[in-house]
């Protein structure tokens, strides 16, 4: 089975997808813009062949790479990246090489926030009111309906880049003075805690693993207000969250993919759908899933991709938390003090790639515990800053 994997070296922990694909019996054909000599040794062992391109954003170079692989190995069976940034490239290659999976004409519902809202409504899930922004007058009329604050975000966007909270007319005027050249969607501001329903679906659309996470705040607040990030997995998933998540996965017809569905949990207990992401939850969350459940989600994905049965036994024995710190902040406790106090709970710690640092910090700790109280205590200790 020939599987093309885009940018196999990034994020750094995703090399494990290729390693397990190879172990599952696939020819793993990597395409990336990093020199082969710079790939970690385990990834080199997991790749059948690696084709270096100068620019991953140049689709013609990806076409040539897949043409070469076809000439050498024959029909390409799958293309993947597990990275939202390459969803459109994946779809294009599947279309051009007639590869099984999401094609170009199917991808808009997974990359455009305006299209996601339609699917949420089809699934019977509440969603924040929103509208495509075209002119200043559109914004004023929308705000008259929903009131301040509102959120402006790119209709096609990854993470919280170029996302703005608008609290008053002054903010609105400043936004239009410097508006980036993207198509924007306006949304009413929803107050609540962000939670997610995450998992993996097989080629029939059956969910073979699912989990849920709770976040200290949204990525928009983390980036725009330069806050610390903290989130953790649930040991018990609320029934309404699982039901809503499953309905959305079904509505989007997710197959042979991870999913990461984000919701607001409002103060009155309602769930409001925020986004659907046809990828693993970001950062180190795939590793968190393994630590919280004593499983190997990378190996499970590889079995899904190669058409093998997946029979994961898991009972969520732990909460696993990601706790991040930023270089531009002054913390009370040193790394040594953290390890002395909570080392028995810390299953991993290390630097975070700079492209993610605005969202999740420059250094991260993964903490396992049976109780939320222990997780929260560790987060307070790790993120406690000088001056409060």
In this predicted model, what pLDDT tens digit does every residue of 203-253 receive, in sequence order? 999 999 999 999 986 666 665 668 898 999 999 999 999 999 999 999 999
- Which position has the higher pLDDT, 359 or 63? 63
Q: How far apart are CA 92 and CA 259, in angstroms?
A: 20
Q: Which pLDDT score, from 0 to 100, does residue 217 have?
A: 66
List domains and CATH numbers for the chain.
Answer: 2-106 (3.40.50.20), 129-188 (3.30.1490.20), 193-383 (3.30.470.20)
- Which has the closest alpha carbon to 166: 181, 186, 183? 186
pLDDT digits (tens, 9 = 90+) for 8-25: 999 999 999 999 999 999
Structure confidence at residue 159 (pLDDT):
57
Specify the DSSP class assigned to residue 122. Answer: H
- Distance, in Å, from the CA atom of 56 to the CA atom of 65, rounded to the nearest integer, reads 11
Identify how many contiguous H helices and E strands the chain contains and give both numbers. 15, 16
Note the pLDDT of residue 62. 98
Q: What is the pLDDT of residues 348-367, one digit of tens each?
A: 999 998 888 888 899 999 99
Rounded (10°) angle between helices 372-383 and 335-342: 160
Residue 336's pLDDT is what?
98
Q: How many C-beta atoms surround the C-beta of residue 287 within 10 A?
A: 18
Burial 148-169 (b: 16+ CB within 10 A, else e): eebbbbbbebebbeebbbbeee
Res. 180 pLDDT band, cuts 50 70 90: confident
Q: How many CB atoms lie within 10 A of CB 279?
A: 19
Q: Strands 346-351, 363-369: parallel, antiparallel or unpaired by DSSP?
A: antiparallel
Average the pLDDT over 173-190 and give the result. Answer: 90
- E-strand ranges in the chain read 2-6, 27-32, 49-52, 78-80, 130-133, 150-154, 164-166, 184-188, 193-201, 207-215, 230-233, 257-265, 271-277, 319-325, 346-351, 363-369
Residue range 277-298, pLDDT digits in tens: 999 999 999 999 999 999 999 9
Of 198, 196, 197, 199, residue with least CA distance to 301: 199
State mean pLDDT over 47-53. 98
Q: Is 44 helix (H, G, I), strand (E, B) or coil?
A: helix
pTM (predicted TM-score) = 0.93
């Amino acid at each position: 089975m020939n599987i093309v994997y885009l940018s196999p070296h990034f994020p750094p922990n995703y090399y494990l997808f290729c390693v397990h694909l190879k172990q599952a019996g696939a020819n793993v054909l990597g395409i990336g813009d990093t020199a082969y000599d710079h790939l970690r040794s385990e990834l080199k062992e997991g790749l059948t062949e690696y084709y270096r391109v100068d620019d991953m954003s140049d689709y013609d170079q990806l076409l040539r790479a897949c043409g070469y692989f076809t000439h050498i190995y024959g029909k390409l069976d799958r293309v993947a990246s597990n990275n939202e940034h390459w969803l459109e490239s994946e779809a294009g290659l599947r279309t051009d090489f007639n590869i099984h999976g999401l094609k170009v004409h199917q991808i808009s519902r997974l990359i455009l926030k305006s299209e996601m809202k339609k699917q949420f409504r089809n699934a019977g899930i509440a969603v924040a009111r929103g509208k495509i922004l075209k002119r200043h007058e559109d914004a004023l009329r929308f705000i008259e309906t929903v009131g301040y604050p509102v959120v402006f975000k790119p209709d096609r966007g990854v993470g919280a880049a170029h996302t703005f909270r608008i609290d008053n007319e002054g903010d609105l005027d400043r936004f239009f003075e410097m508006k980036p050249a993207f198509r924007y969607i306006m949304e009413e501001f929803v107050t609540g805690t962000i939670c997610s329903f995450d998992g993996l679906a097989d080629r029939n659309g059956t969910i073979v693993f699912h989990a849920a996470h709770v976040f200290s705040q949204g990525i928009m607040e983390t980036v725009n207000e330069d806050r610390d990030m903290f989130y953790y997995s649930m040991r018990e998933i609320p029934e309404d969250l699982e039901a809503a998540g499953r309905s959305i996965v079904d509505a989007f017809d997710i197959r042979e993919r991870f999913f990461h569905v984000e919701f607001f949990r409002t103060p009155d207990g309602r769930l409001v759908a925020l986004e659907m992401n046809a990828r693993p939850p970001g950062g180190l969350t795939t590793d968190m899933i393994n630590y919280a459940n004593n499983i190997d989600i990378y190996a499970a994905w590889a079995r899904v991709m190669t058409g093998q049965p997946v029979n994961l036994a898991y009972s969520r024995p732990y909460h696993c938390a990601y706790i991040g710190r930023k270089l531009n902040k002054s913390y009370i406790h040193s790394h040594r003090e953290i390890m002395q106090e909570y080392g028995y709970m810390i299953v991993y710690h290390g630097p975070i790639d700079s492209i993610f640092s605005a969202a999740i910090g420059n250094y991260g700790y993964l903490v396992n515990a049976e109780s939320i109280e222990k997780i929260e205590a560790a987060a307070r200790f790790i993120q406690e800053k000088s001056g409060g």
